[in-house]
Amino acid sequence: MSAAQQDLKIDGRRLWDSLMALARIGATPAGGVNRQALTDADRQARAQFTQWCEAAGCRVRTDAIGNLIARLPGQNDDLPAVMMGSHLDSQPTGGKFDGAYGVMAGLEVLRAIRESGRIPPRAVELAAWTNEEGTRFAPSMMGSAVYAGLLPLEEALAVVDADGVTVAEALRQAGVSPSGEDPGLPMAYFEAHIEQGPVLEAEGKPIGVVTAAQGQCWFRVSFQGQAAHAGSTPMNMRADALAAAARVVTALNEIGKAHAPGCATAGRMVVTPNSPNVIPGSVVLSAEMRHPDDAVRSAMESLFHEAVAAAAREHSVQVRTDKILEQPAAPFAAACMQAIRHSARQRQYPCLDIVSGAAHDAVALSRIVPSGMIFVPCAGGISHNEAESAEPDDLAAGCQVLCDSVLAFCHGDAAGR
Ligand code: HGY
Ligand code: MN
Ligand code: MN
């Protein structure tokens, strides 16, 4: 790391203030945020992001799926940029830091570079990816997947939410219009994120060098039974969709426990007609499975399909299982990890290699460009919860490592193109 890079310091106080200002957009009474993709709160956060990036000397472009990409020009603007990114959208009961931290840390890096007065050799970009969470529009990581060519644009635009609104319509309602520029792919991508798990805090390490993200798959399981009177329908004459779905929820949990460190979750269930004295006629259940080893996850999936078939037989219901996301495990780039480790050591931040349990936009980017992730601890490992919190010093340390790593690639000190 050159002396010039060494003394380029981020401003941890300004980073914290930006995070708290962003957290006021879509704030919930319990102290979290609800900025589901392309809702009005997400639209406000996108507008705020754009305004802050322009004030930091960037041009901000929008692509066809609504990804926002801010660009701080470099000395040679024909060279591929170094990109940072994460997401502004949140879970319905999300926290202040999931996604927001990576975007605000990237903004702080842009601000620090701009204030240093030293124009980097190549452009530095910051992406705010559309619909990372996938809670309103499934699947997750939608914007980065379209950017990486993993999900066809038309397929993404046609996805509907629970009210039948398409992504295309939601983009129009949010006033998103593609700006048309395309300077080409970056030479590398870095994402800073809270760990969303307990390891770094338990180990007392402020920096996680993310070596890979475990793979995952999502399913939508539709059970079709027969709605009938709860009082006058004998037990042996029922086609109870909820009883069948409950069997699958329990089986999925057992599959996850039997394949640790993998995991399995049924997070959403829609029961129709959802009335106390009606035998449920239909149920739509979400199911997801994750594991660091794709072969093991495949075995988990086989057991899952067997459990679905058995539950349907036992409760005399029809069932349809649709796979809506297949995301193989993603190793991150050695050169990116090396830059992250080098910065942590230079700055004397204890660091730890770690596999990500959560998926991130960096997973999609890692399929097309060398990518790396920097984790920082979050309190109790809690995330996807309004109580999510993190320490300002850890957030600042992760942001400084992000800055050093990006500059290492800008200056060609790392094994980049
Ligand atoms: O689901 C995930 O892993 C991410 O938090 N969206
Ligand atoms: Mn996230
Ligand atoms: Mn998340």
Centre of ligand 3 from the C-alpha of residue 49, in Å: 18
Q: Stretch 200-210: mean pLDDT, rounded?
A: 98
- Render pLDDT for 345-361 as a digit per residue (tens, 0 to 9): 999 999 999 999 999 99
Protein residues placing their CB within 5 Å of the ion ligand 3: 98
Centre of ligand 2 from the C-alpha of residue 277, in Å: 40
Q: Stretch 174-192: mean pLDDT, rounded?
A: 95
Centre of ligand 3 from the C-alpha of residue 350, in Å: 25
Assigned superfamily of 3-213+329-410: Zn peptidases (3.40.630.10)
- Render pLDDT for 60-70 as a digit per residue (tens, 0 to 9): 999 999 999 99
Centre of ligand 1 from the C-alpha of residue 154, in Å: 23
Copy the structure tokens of residue 82: 């170094």
359 lines ligand 1 (CB under 6 A): yes
Rounded to a whole number of angstroms, the CA Rg of the chain reads: 23
Centre of ligand 2 from the C-alpha of residue 35, in Å: 12
Cis omega (within 30 of 0) on the bond before 273?
yes
Closest residue CA from atom 4 of ligand 1: 359
Cβ atoms of 189 and 365 within 8 Å: the answer is: yes
Query: What CA–CA distance (Å, rounded) separates 98 from 379?
Result: 12
Does the domain made of 215-327 have the CATH classification 3.30.70.360? yes
191 lines ligand 1 (CB under 6 A): no
Query: What CA–CA distance (Å, rounded) separates 98 from 91?
Result: 9
358 lines ligand 1 (CB under 6 A): yes
384, 385, 388: residue to mutate for ligand 1 pocket, most atoms within 8 A of CB: 384
133 lines ligand 1 (CB under 6 A): yes
Rounded to the nearest angstrom, the gap between the alpha carbon of residue 236 and the centroid of all alpha carbons in its chain is: 45
Partner residues linked to 354 by β-bridges: 210
Return the pLDDT at 417: 38
89, 129, 132: residue to mutate for ligand 1 pocket, most atoms within 8 A of CB: 132
Query: What CA–CA distance (Å, rounded) separates 79 from 371?
Result: 17
Cβ atoms of 95 and 34 within 8 Å: the answer is: no
Kindly identify the ligand whose nearest atom is closest to the C-alpha of 193: 2
Nearest atom, ligand 1, residue 290 CA: 3
284 lines ligand 1 (CB under 6 A): no
Q: Stretch 278-300: mean pLDDT, rounded?
A: 98
132 lines ligand 1 (CB under 6 A): yes
Query: What CA–CA distance (Å, rounded) separates 368 from 187?
Result: 10
Centre of ligand 1 from the C-alpha of residue 5, in Å: 33
Q: Stretch 389-412: mean pLDDT, rounded?
A: 97
Percent of the chain, pLDDT > 70? 97
Return the pLDDT at 4: 67
Nearest atom, ligand 1, residue 133 CA: 6
195 lines ligand 1 (CB under 6 A): no
Beta pairing, strands 278-279 & 228-229? antiparallel
Return the pLDDT at 413: 67
For the chain, the structural domain boundaries read 3-213+329-410, 215-327
Q: Stretch 379-398: mean pLDDT, rounded?
A: 98
Partner residues linked to 222 by β-bridges: 284, 320
- Render pLDDT for 77-119 as a digit per residue (tens, 0 to 9): 999 999 999 999 999 999 999 999 999 999 999 999 999 999 9
Centre of ligand 3 from the C-alpha of residue 47, in Å: 21
Q: Stretch 171-195: mean pLDDT, rounded?
A: 96
Confidence of residue 7 (pLDDT cuts 50, 70, 90): confident
Cβ atoms of 62 and 175 within 8 Å: the answer is: no
Centre of ligand 3 from the C-alpha of residue 344, in Å: 25
- Render pLDDT for 291-302 as a digit per residue (tens, 0 to 9): 999 999 999 999
Nearest atom, ligand 1, residue 384 CA: 5
101, 210, 360: residue to mutate for ligand 1 pocket, most atoms within 8 A of CB: 360
